[in-house]
Every structure is written in C-alpha cells, then in structure tokens.
Amino acid sequence: MNIDRLVVGQGAAYGLLLAAPAAIVNVVLAGQDPKPKAALNATLLALLIAFGISGFMAGKIATGRPAAHGALAGLVAFALVQVIGVLGRLDREAGISIPQIVVLGSVAAGIAAATSGLGAKRHLREEP
C-alpha cells in the first residue's frame, strides 16, 4: 500500500494549527534577555502535543499504514516549524545545531507515529 500524500498533508495541517503559533511564540521568547525558561518549556510542550495531533489525525484518516502516515505527518509539521525556528535563530544571529534538529525531528516522528495508532483505533471504532 502506498503513502497517501493527502492524508499526510491533512495530518500535518491539523498539528500546525497549534505548532505554528507555538513556534512563533518560542522565537519571540527566545530573543528575550533573560530568557523566560518556563514559557519556553511550555512552547516546547505545545509543539510536542502538536506533533502528536498530526500523527493522531493522520492515523485516523489513513485507510492503511497509520504509523507511516502519522510519522510522515509529524515530520512535515516539524519541517515547517523548523523553518520558523531557523529563521528566528538567524534573525538574532544565534547558531544552528544540525544534530539537535535531527534529534528533535526523530522525536517528532516518534510521537506522531505513536499517536497514529490511537487515531487508527478510533477510526476503526467509528466504522459500522
């Protein structure tokens, strides 16, 4: 069974409803001195929840291979959020860590894949 790009895009879009504003707030807060650590941690939590939403919705919508669809939806949402983060870091002349981006991308995909199973179960329960 192939990957349905529409399902991946829809899952990512659901997650981006929370992830995009959280990423923008994170960029604004990261530019402050002193850094509000609690607020920055809250934006990270919002991003992790958003990646979970991406996976859940992709798993719920997918007709097959929910984990693959979910992981890809989480990665697409992560990539778009990462563009916001990289532009913010470049704006304040901060360094960019490729290993950190890779690790966070793996975390996003893992969370999305895990929650896709929940979405798939919910999808199966709703069918007659």
SS (H, E, C) 3-70: CCHHHHHHHHHHHHHHHHHHHHHHHHHHCCCCCCHHHHHHHHHHHHHHHHHHHHHHHHHCCCCHHHHH
Separation CA 95–CA 89 (nearest Å): 7
* pLDDT of 44 above 80: yes
Determine the pLDDT at residue 93.
85
The pLDDT-based confidence of 127 (bands split at 50, 70, 90) is: low
* pLDDT of 124 above 70: no
Determine the pLDDT at residue 95.
85
Task: Report the run of H or E that residue 94 belongs to, with start and end.
Answer: none
* pLDDT of 55 above 60: yes
Task: Report the run of H or E that residue 125 belongs to, with start and end.
Answer: helix 98-126
Could you check whether the bond before residue 66 is cis, i.e. omega within 30 degrees of 0? no
* pLDDT of 123 above 70: no
For the chain, give the percent of residues with pLDDT over 70. 94
Q: How many CB atoms lie within 10 A of CB 107?
A: 15
* pLDDT of 128 above 60: no
- Backbone dihedral region of 65: left (phi > 0), alpha (psi from -120 to 50 degrees) or beta? left
Q: How much is the average pLDDT of 9-24? A: 96
State if pTM tops 0.85. Answer: yes
Taking only the tens place, the pLDDT of each residue in 57-115 is 999 999 889 999 999 999 999 999 999 999 998 888 888 889 999 999 999 999 999 99
**What phi and psi values does residue 95 have, to the nearest 5 degrees?**
-75, 160
